[in-house]
Amino acid sequence: MNVEALHRRARQARARAQVRRWQYRQRHHAQGTWHLLARLLADSRAVFVVSESESEALGSEGIAAEAVGAMLEPPRTIRFVPEARIARLESRREIPVRLGPELLAARHLVLSRFGEGT
Amino acid sequence: MDFRGRLLATLQAIAPVLDVPDVVVIGSQVPNLLQPDLASTLVVSKDVDIGVPVTRHGAVKEALRHVRALHPSTEEPSVWVPVDPLLLEVNFVGMDESIDDTEETYVLEDAELPLMVFGALSLVRPGGTVAIEGTRIRLPRVAGLLLEKLLTERSGIKGDRDLLVALALIVLAADADLDEGVGAYRLLAPHLRHAVRANLSALSLMEPVEGMPDPRPQRARVAALLRRLDGSEPRP
């Protein structure tokens, strides 16, 4: 009986556990940045690209930028914005909620959060 | 025969094993069996995982001697393959409640039924039973299986499948199940809690996979669970 196959799988599982511990230790570095960005998106019902001027206007209204945006290179501004306010952003263009090319190409993003109507 | 019929016929074929105390169906078939009338519409795999407590290993081997419709695979010693191709493969997996480290994995060597024993399965506890035509099927408590699915480190299609099983469990879970899951989550080591949250984030962003349920309509539920887990984190 091929028990060696089971031992091989057990070794692979232990190796994956080692990788997971390493990823946790790296969470304040690049690995962690991706996790934080994914976490923001997981909280987001929808994602929009907006113009720099409208993003700045949101900032001047007191809507803070999420810290993870500054960790990216080049930096992005990413803000959670009430949906009623998003509806008044003329430059808004909705993009898929995923870590895809449209999101990564954008410099200014606004997100609508689950559980926040307006 | 539809998938539900294949699944139930397979479980009936291994009824002697399911009669062994504390043996549970685990894995992707659990959401199918939790549906009303065992509807089995959340199909994401074509095999059945059976959790065998290591303390019941001898009793399960004895019960397998009464199973006629399946036999051990020559390639995968912990897998039993059906004689009739309409039945599903059965994968036996070891559960060891005494493992403290949920990342530990070991092989229980045995000439008849060797088992992979996964530490994460120590989170799984036997739950209620469902009955089909005289066969009683023990299911795990939802909370433990959900955490196990969110902890198991896998990649590719297998990883996607585990996350979709987790999603199905989230959808089917009662409030009390989620409360229990959050409680068990708080007892995990920090890097494992991080892994659970990272996997939930990945689940939220998962694209539809052909032949599997589309996860996107359930994103709000995933976000709500993430918020609960964040809220239960110890203050720095």
pLDDT of residue B95: 96
A vs B, Cβ pairs < 8 A, gives 89
* pLDDT for the residue numbered A106: 96
pTM: 0.89
pLDDT at A118: 45
Contact criterion met (CB < 8 Å) for B227 and A5: no
Statement to judge: residues B122 and B231 lie in one domain = no
One domain, residues B184 and B228: yes
**Same domain membership, residue B201 and residue B118:** no
Residue A57 has pLDDT above 70, yes or no: yes
Q: Are residues B183 and B135 in the same domain?
A: no
Same domain, B27 and B117: yes
Give the domain extent around B169. 141-236
Element (H, E) at B107: strand B105-108
Among all residues of chain A, which has the CA nearest to that of B203?
A42
B106 three-state secondary structure:
strand
Per-residue pLDDT, averaged over A96-106, amounts to 93
C-alpha distances out from residue B152 to B103, B111, B161, B170, B195, Å: 9, 27, 11, 16, 9
- Residue A10 has its nearest CB partner, among B105, B194, B198, at B105
Contacts 24+ apart (CB under 8 A), B179-187: B180/B141, B180/B142, B180/B143, B181/B142, B181/B143, B181/B144, B181/B146, B181/B147, B182/B228, B182/B229, B182/B232, B183/B143, B184/B123, B184/B143, B184/B144, B184/B147, B185/B147, B185/B229, B185/B232, B186/B232, B186/B234
Burial (0-12, 13-18, 19+ Cβ within 10 Å), B155: exposed
B67 and B176, same domain (yes or no): no
- In this structure, the answer to whether residues B74 and B16 fall within a common structural domain is yes
Which of the listed residues B140, B174, B193 is the one where a domain comes to its end? B140
Q: Is the same domain home to B25 and B9? A: yes
Domain stops at, among B140, B157, B191: B140
CB–CB contact A42 B74 (8 Å): no
Average pLDDT over residues A79-93: 97
Residues B50 and B66 reside in one and the same domain: yes
Last residue of a domain, one of B99, B121, B140: B140
How many domains does chain B contain in total?
2
Residues B78 and B15 in one domain: yes
Q: B130 and B220 share a domain?
A: no
Q: Are residues B89 and B22 in the same domain?
A: yes
